[in-house]
Structure 1
């Protein structure tokens, strides 16, 4: 096990009606609030009214910025930075899913930067501070409610890039599973895929003697696998929704990665797909992750066989570990397909046209991955396996 420092200061308020605490939690950071959200769903559901009423009970000065889309754009981030400076914003309140939260974080770091917020995502600037972020989560998926990372898209050049820093972790996050009842099945499935992928990125490690976190990863994955069909069958199953919502947070609050090297190649490879084609991140991961697994499993057949056995209950064939490993990969792909996810690029009408371009862009800052180092030719081969 590697040395590690673990600190996650996000306060979690979990359960029914906790969104009514939004005003009290926000007031601890100041009066001037940038209320950041996506489209009209929070207004249709009544959540917008609840949040605004809670803020006004604390005499908050509310500045609104809606319009966040999946794969949030740097253009809206720039608008948010200008609003923060103009209105002397004390805290950004993100009401929505990972895209809204990621956008809020980018605004939060941009408010402390004299240049363009995109500088952080190209590596031309380093994060030093971030405005406090509060969250009312509506989509369990990205885990951004307790993570220190943000992913933003720049339509100019079709780039999708990530940045992370401890100051970007939200100050508080409100998680009420009831708020997820109205999510479409496809969006729910995309979230399930995303949180599963966050665990995969940590599970496939070269670090030895990390059985405790192996077991924690496996337990979280098995919970997701068990609860996913229940949520899709009965969207108002509170118990199942609660399990999925908490699993999404655990998957990406860094506790599953302590003491172990991580990979993250699959996320970078997928970012190029959604950066160009603007598909849902979870759908892209359902396609890319099994392809990545097929490409790298021989690097550590034992770990893939363990994954197959402990997560998918595949009996280990001691005479043919490769067979066991491949069965685990097959079951992973089968699971994604069973919840309505695409598992081939062809299923979403993506051909080979941009494979070389995407592979070069994915590796333009160096090789990808911690489990196996991937160059542009490797990435292109993974796209081929995914087609």
Structure 2
């Protein structure tokens, strides 16, 4: 175990229904052969482990889709196999994304006994009308009961909210956010509603039935969010993620710090051995690849030093801590860097490149200009 640790991502592709804002690799199926899927994921896991021996896992993340629909026995089997193949670093973080339905909340105790020690709960809103607009299957009452169950079952709890919803005022969002902060979790993921191509919301927007948020007002909401969470002791450590010191998502920090991670399951990405791996997205195609090849990989590409530097830039500037300049090599346009520093959008003190608060407001544009 002399090499640096790995993060491990497992994708469960199934959902009860498709939310209108969601562009993730999620699928609705009337029936799922749980035994078949457990064996397929274990086979995919074993393939990745054979490529990366001797590197303990620092984190495991069950994402989706809706991984809280996985039988706890499957979660336990995957955790046990991961420990057997790789070994665990001390204090490993094992996160599972969960929907706050009463059916899934009933499994929280079993999931904790399986080894999950952190849950990320998809509350998404603290208002029944907003939940209906977002296509969520749970009510506010049901969501808050699930949150209470999660806080009893797991060592660490995070939950998601979506803001910048149509008709939402600064006052509305501040009240909702302060209520959320009052629940006492150590981590919040707060996302502005975006209209993603291929979603139901995109179709509505294309017909003029759904308007996107005014960018200036969205910026006001963003600044209010950061100020309010900082005041409450959960400052932003990434564009959309806020935590008490020490409660940050270690798994996601591996992505943003451009560390190595392996991914299994339909549509999962990986970055290991200076290669990018991508699994087949459609569940049926993934299963066929497992049967044919023993793994679900659709493509695997060597990452050149220039590409790795560019990806480190794209990920690292999302963080408040920024990214080491030494990692960026020729990924940045030095003239653009000087210009953006002059405008107060970037700083590179202590050999780290960081976006300033003003830069965070226009991060996508900033990255496009900065990339060589």
* Range of TM-score over shorter length: under 0.3
> Which has the larger helix fraction?
1
Q: Which has the larger share of strand? A: 2
